Structure 1
């Protein structure tokens, strides 16, 4: 495939490349360098790299990111931060969904790690156990303790991944990677249920090249490097699956902020911070992409703009919610003595309806357009419910609960409703 791309570049048919999922590579920097060596230097290349708040793109030989960072900054400046407390109080009081966002993210990461990435976790645990067994001071660490420590560290890893070198020379490790790993380990130890928390430090030592591999009876350096590589290639998918494909369908305080590369816990940014970010971008990555929607975004610009406006009008939003609940009540289904869908799902669905409501239906009822919109909502709800994994999932479909949602839409999204 690379040969085909290079051939088209040489023929002048391709002017730039977008590298998807670069964090999934064992050596993103090495790949970027090899790519420029083959087609450059200076060929226009952008990378799909999700930057968490405060994270900067590493100095790779690329033009910058594909722009998800800018997308969320543009959305963030449109959020009325001064009314966050009102929105939060409204959300929690109406839905009883009051767990802190960061807690829910950690829980989702641990859940996804043990369910969706169980085999990757076991292989990584096996590698670290082999390293531990080579030293009398660490050979008593059990498989279960190592597995639990890795889950706790990954659940608290603050970014998609680190970028450790391909050797075990501690001096080659960048300060940023030391900070990322040590911070995650410190937080994991603080809240760990393990009686011996030195296993967390041992995992950090393996990642940061602090384990002595010289002399007979010492750990195999190739096993340590393999563990490090697997750790770095696992944290990104765990973050993506836990956040974008799970928590974004559970936590629905202000749905416009549940966007690729976004952090709903940040709840927007002020003008001073926004301008500082743009100045840094112009200085460091002047040729990076500016993106407002892609094939991966959850919503288009117009839908997000509508929903961002809710941050400015919490009182009107409260009235709209109360109106919705009154209208929805006759169309709810009772399952196990509880009306469904539950309030949190309804909160999410109401925002989805507001964001996507067709303009032509603001003027008059059009039965065909209404049916089309309801079908779109049914498809969205199916995906949202199964991705959230609260009441249904792709593996264990709850047809009764999903049917209750379709019944609700059938009663409310109808001509004359």
Structure 2
């Protein structure tokens, strides 16, 4: 089975094409990776604020370079010895005319070739909740027209840039009273049209429109304008269509996620799976593509069946990754036929290791005092409930309708709805998973436990508990209901809804209401561990046991709001909580005159101010001078954009949702006043500087851990240097590979101590990443198959280091990474650890390592190991210790 030693992640689009990726092949090879992981190469569109949806899974994206661009990329990757891992987006497709499958469904309804490809309730027309106002008003405002579309060779309605085709059999009604030869010819072709011959129909319509003279086309357009303006005629025609444009009604098709712009696919149907995966599987056989990464896998009805079939079609040698966050105790991924996950859970694992739990508690107390009416949220069920009712009312209505068909103990919609909401939002995992049509045991227990908790809630009635038990029974034993097929449909859609609600709660408001450093951007609940180092070792043992070839990521998750090194700065705040809280209070007092009052509320409120200052500390470039107007302007713009998103998404600011312009303007005004205040800027930089330094050391520690623990590390493009971007979403700006190439050349030619002194440039991180990636190439078995064994640390600073070694057939790697070093570093201007502090701290080495001569990866110094290894010696020239055995210097232990 193919497993990459490491991967480099590039997000296509937004200025990055196949050729840009091809031009970076040599750089990636020099850096030391052996695989490129990239977003979907197939024709796709942006859906909403986040995420891509595939328009055509069989066509390479024209904007990315189509076949010629992909051929160049493939050739350059082959020449550099790099494999390719591509994204698949199988859970949803855009509900737009660009999607030929969806266009076919709208045009032909239940008779369409692709009618069974989507989750559609054919009891009535497909409801499209796209209208912002009643149709008559939209027509009067000239936002909705009945027209012919030459490109799509169809007559239909165009609304806000989206075209919806008419059923061909309705053309006669549409063109009634138009006694022209053009109308007669169109009607004649439409009357003979069938879904099976749709291509021929459109070819004929295209020919007719192309051959018609301009005067005839103008006459046709005028006729269609008259149809739109005649309410009775227009409504009669719309009644003939397979769809309805509506405002806020529940659609007949299940959307994916919380977007009415997408529609869910039914991969449980063989034809759907076959047609969607035909070209990706072909690339897997004939190009450098060696792996597939499945995005939004939780939105599929049955991920296990899907991955089983994907493995069967892709072959045992393919590298398959599921874009899923695994929470504590979950076992679903072990049942799937994949190598592992995309590795985002590693973000939370590292956070738990590098945060100071006592300092976090102090920060929390200061933060809570800012506004006692907003409490620290220990769980986020209330947020999930709000999001479900705001964004998933359509899905909820469909689930309630399905339940009413199963003879529940009460058919009261409100009671049924509450049972669904309670189970979906209180579930402690993303969703439940089915195995062979039944909920898997672990998730069945989770559902029962959730139901038991809900049933004990204050005010819960016996009737509500009866309904709750009924819903639980439908999912656990669908065969015992009056209609097993409907019960299975309910169970599958409930699971998809629960996953979508949890994902949306992470992506949106939750991380802003959790606490002082937004821990919940770091995967649901980043809980403080009583033994952080021990917990880290346990997690790595589990990684080695369950998915040793799964990925390890520190960047890019919809659940993050900061780049990986900006996050490391935030963790440093927990190491000096009083110092940070005092600074925030000082700044709040000095800037009080910049606040405004809106409807008796001070804006920005105290917690928004805290968020503003901590975000500025996270994203301010360490080398930026307060007199650099151009640099300040860039940071100002990033901060404004971040705070605008926080206002829009934050639960505690929900009062302003929809009418947040005054609030947003007030926050922007406050930011502008901050950046105009040189005294504040000087104080801010001096206060934040030691946190930046500690954050840089955290960043180096995080990077080394990712590159040495079990799993396949992923380097996000650009994060091989400091990544202090204000959002974890990447790809909105193209990466400058030319500058990275220059930085890599500089890093390899510059002495290590100079790189450390110039730490703020990020070149030292680039040097470190290259050294470890190249080592992974040389010692592939050691990293992919080697044991992970914790090392005991003795001495005064034992709690400030995590250490382990890897072993495979006589090859050794020892790693010691510092943690919680703010107090040691604050007197320095670069991340050199004070060696005198470490003199009494050492690694206790097992017998099998004694007598082995190892080489320090970063300095090249060799050392022969004994029973104890001094960390003062290990950190002498570089703040991270990695010792590796070389075959030619191995000496067996004397007995």
Contact 1:386 1:397 in 2 (8 A): no
1:288-307 → structure 2 map (5 Å cutoff): 288-294=550-556, 296=558, 297-307=560-570
Shift of 1:260: 5.0
1:331 to 587, 594, 610: 594
1:158 aligns with 2:158: no
1:73 aligns with 2:349: yes
Q: Aligned residue for 1:145? A: 415
Q: Distance between the aligned counterparts of 2:605 and 2:403, measured in 1?
A: 43
Distance 1:11 1:97, change over 3 A: farther
Instruction: Please say which of residues 226-235 and 40-49 is displaced more in the overlay.
Output: 40-49
2:484 to 200, 221, 243: 221
Distance 1:212 1:262, change over 3 A: closer
1:44-83 → structure 2 map (5 Å cutoff): 44-56=319-331, 57-83=333-359
Q: Comparing both structures, which one devotes a greater share of its residues to strand? A: 2
1:78-97 → structure 2 map (5 Å cutoff): 78-96=354-372
1:366 aligns with 2:628: yes
Shift of 1:24: 0.5
Deviation per residue, 1:194-213 (Å, 9 max, x gap): 42222111111111016624
1:199 to 459, 462, 467: 467
Deviation per residue, 1:287-323 (Å, 9 max, x gap): 1111111264421121011110111111111211112
Contact 1:108 1:242 in 2 (8 A): yes
Secondary structure of 1:15 counterpart: strand
Q: Aligned residue for 1:250? A: 513
Q: Distance between the aligned counterparts of 1:100 and 1:376, measured in 2?
A: 27
Deviation per residue, 1:142-198 (Å, 9 max, x gap): 22111111111112011111112353xxxx543202111101111111226442222
1:17-416 → structure 2 map (5 Å cutoff): 17-56=292-331, 57-96=333-372, 98-103=374-379, 105-133=380-408, 138=409, 140-167=410-437, 172-191=438-457, 193-195=459-461, 196=463, 197-209=465-477, 212-213=480-481, 219-255=482-518, 257-259=519-521, 261-264=523-526, 266-267=527-528, 270-294=532-556, 296=558, 297-361=560-624, 363-391=625-653, 396-414=658-676, 416=678
Shift of 1:121: 0.4
Q: Distance between the aligned counterparts of 2:641 and 2:583, measured in 1?
A: 24
Q: Distance between the aligned counterparts of 2:508 and 2:640, measured in 1?
A: 18
Q: Distance between the aligned counterparts of 2:418 and 2:567, measured in 1?
A: 39
TM-score, normalised to structure 2, is 0.43
Secondary structure of 1:131 counterpart: coil
Distance 1:287 1:226, change over 3 A: same
Contact 1:249 1:385 in 2 (8 A): no
Q: Distance between the aligned counterparts of 1:93 and 1:190, measured in 2?
A: 32
Deviation per residue, 1:107-128 (Å, 9 max, x gap): 1111111111001001101111
Shift of 1:338: 2.5
Q: Distance between the aligned counterparts of 1:29 and 1:400, measured in 2?
A: 48
Q: Distance between the aligned counterparts of 1:393 and 1:166, measured in 2?
A: 45
Q: Aligned residue for 2:47? A: none
Shift of 1:387: 1.1
Shift of 1:352: 0.7
Secondary structure of 1:89 counterpart: helix
Unaligned runs of 5+ in 2: 1-56, 58-276, 681-895
Q: Comparing both structures, which one devotes a greater share of its residues to helix? A: 1
Q: Distance between the aligned counterparts of 1:92 and 1:349, measured in 2?
A: 16
Shift of 1:236: 0.6
Secondary structure of 2:521 counterpart: coil
Deviation per residue, 1:216-270 (Å, 9 max, x gap): xxx1111111110110110011011123211112333222x23253424x14661
Contact 2:647 2:660 in 1 (8 A): no
Contact 2:355 2:572 in 1 (8 A): yes
Distance 1:262 1:390, change over 3 A: closer
Q: Distance between the aligned counterparts of 2:654 and 2:478, measured in 1?
A: 44
Secondary structure of 2:551 counterpart: coil
Contact 2:298 2:431 in 1 (8 A): yes
Contact 1:252 1:344 in 2 (8 A): no
Aligned Cα root-mean-square deviation (Å):
2.0
Distance 1:173 1:111, change over 3 A: closer
Contact 2:510 2:651 in 1 (8 A): no
Shift of 1:100: 4.7
Greater RCO (CA < 8 Å, at least 6 residues apart): 1
Shift of 1:343: 1.1
Distance 1:270 1:295, change over 3 A: closer
Q: Distance between the aligned counterparts of 2:371 and 2:402, measured in 1?
A: 44
Unaligned runs of 5+ in 1: 214-218
Shift of 1:374: 0.9
Instruction: Please say which of residues 43-52 and 189-198 is displaced more in the overlay.
Output: 189-198
Q: Distance between the aligned counterparts of 1:307 and 1:112, measured in 2?
A: 27
Q: Distance between the aligned counterparts of 1:396 and 1:251, measured in 2?
A: 23
Secondary structure of 2:406 counterpart: helix
Secondary structure of 2:316 counterpart: coil
Distance 1:243 1:393, change over 3 A: farther
Distance 1:388 1:66, change over 3 A: same
Contact 2:403 2:416 in 1 (8 A): yes
Q: Distance between the aligned counterparts of 2:652 and 2:361, measured in 1?
A: 26
Q: Aligned residue for 2:114? A: none
Distance 1:395 1:90, change over 3 A: closer
